[in-house]
Structure 1
């Protein structure tokens, strides 16, 4: 089943690449795409767009937010990846967490380019191919994070609500197959950013934009469906699944004799951060690319970029989720960074991880106090 799914995903990826290449070849000259100039072939930006691109929000506040996310998120996710990859017990569900940490880490590694771009007046100095690569990594790993959060929620749901079927559904084959499938879907979805030109150079002001004003002239009917697909697969479906999976988990916890408050807080944190960080940008993305007319389009994109910077903060909260969800992870971090005793930290308590990550736990309702 995993092999057939992988082949289907690869076939979809190849089909998208061929379609994009054919469409690109049939197109005429430049035209604005994200922020739309009055004359798409002009090398001079109109005053409204110039004000947007060089405003203090775009050149100071947004790079400041990205810098804060980078400073906080990079070491936290490096530590998380190290602990999950080398210090915790190797179980199938941990593989999903490792992939989530890797997705966050790749996203964070793209931020220095975004910070430089915004800080220097939305002027891209790294060339066309790096622009496409950074854009694909930036968006791709954001959607990968969403999909892995969904997969982890499903895994947790099966472990608690259907514990007797979790051996088959939560094995190594499922974890690896799901992870590979997510990365293939993300690669297919982000292939447009690698194929279609992302940079556009202007004489007045003397800047080269990256992704903000696409150098692609044609407006395609497929473009609306492309971003509708991103919204559906990368946000709407994961949100519905996460809600569906976590509500029954809360019901199971509520029926336990001593409902652990911290577990309820964990689920609340997952739902709150997902809705807070990803809802604004995805709703604005949908509205931005579904508008038939371009009036007020630029202002909508301005707010979308702000919401996008907010969504980047999710990379800082994911390590907190690892910390509170797994007793192994929590004890290992404390032992590594807070303890001077030479204990074998690989024998750390696994009570909390039994709830969320054990594949055949007979006491799935045991939790940390």
Structure 2
């Protein structure tokens, strides 16, 4: 993601912008890859993600009677959308070899939007898993209401913003090699960066992964226990639940684990190789793609959202036809 935590050193200048996927200078690295290949990949992810999230937001927002799951989906789509919106800044920096030209205010604003929505996206996926557990295992729970769901989502947004306080405090533009760069400039340099990286990975990956795995495991246990009670009547339901669980966890692991692993490895790398820099950028592509895959999964596998979009298109077409007929008459 654009919230790259950088191993900062005055001697090696091993410093990356928090809105720059290329963590180091391009010396010794094929510059064409960064100026053409990676920006193109980011552009594709951004375009598909924004369109898909827009469709999901449209499908939920235009529904008159919203369910609890709709509130989670709407908030997730908004967080994913905001997370992807800052990608053009990353693309611009890749092309300009880390140069930041948007000023100090935008540097901090883009950083905060990126980091806070990274936490928000993962946070909403986590509470959505808990909600699925309650809906399946405790379907009569009185706590699962629209009002309570709005409160939970608001708490996730506020918590994500509070988790981004270090970014608000220490993001700034500095001059490096006759150009401005946007960085997270922590007071103690490498020492603080070490703790910040662990802090970010713990809150943004380790804790959510533990919660997601735990509640989905409990949900699966309940599903298969119910199947055994009624023998094979609900085998289709059980298979569908299993596939959904495995898909959610697999996508979360695939998109986020490489990014957080390489962030930790980055702390011990004094002079990165070309291979490491390419791998670094690939993990950032994967982390962004999570916000692109989320809405695509909903549009492909959630029939109710597809039906809402199609129904709106049909009603719009019918309305236009009626207007044309009335105009002719």
So what's the TM-score if we normalise by structure 2?
Answer: 0.78
Cα distance change, pair 68–33 in 1 and its aligned pair in 2 (3 A): closer
For residue 164 of structure 2, the aligned residue among 175, 183, 190 is: 190
Give the match for residue 208 of structure 1: 180
RMSD: 3.1
For residue 265 of structure 1, the aligned residue among 220, 230, 243 is: 243
> In the alignment, does 2:107 pair up with 1:131?
yes
Give the match for residue 55 of structure 1: 31
Cα distance change, pair 333–128 in 1 and its aligned pair in 2 (3 A): same
Give the match for residue 295 of structure 1: 270
> In the alignment, does 2:282 pair up with 1:306?
yes
SS at match of 2:86: helix
The 5-angstrom pairing of residues 160-309 of structure 1 reads 160-164=136-140, 166-168=141-143, 170-203=144-177, 206-211=178-183, 214-215=184-185, 218-219=188-189, 221-254=191-224, 255=227, 257-260=234-237, 261-289=239-267, 291=268, 295-296=270-271, 303-309=279-285
SS at match of 2:234: coil
Shift of 1:38: 2.3
The CA deviation string for residues 36-86 of structure 1, in whole angstroms up to 9 with x for no partner, is 45266xxxxxxx844278733433332122101111111111111111122
Alignment partners' CA distance in 2, 1:247 and 1:106: 31
SS at match of 2:175: strand
Aligned length: 297
SS at match of 2:180: strand
**Contact 1:72 1:316 survives alignment (8 Å):** yes
Shift of 1:342: 4.8
**Contact 1:88 1:329 survives alignment (8 Å):** no
For residue 144 of structure 1, the aligned residue among 108, 116, 120 is: 120
Give the match for residue 295 of structure 2: 319
The 5-angstrom pairing of residues 63-102 of structure 1 reads 63-87=39-63, 89-102=65-78
So what's the TM-score if we normalise by structure 1?
Answer: 0.70
Cα distance change, pair 60–122 in 1 and its aligned pair in 2 (3 A): farther
SS at match of 1:51: coil
> In the alignment, does 2:126 pair up with 1:154?
no
Structure 1 residue ranges without an equivalent (≥5): 1-31, 41-47, 344-369
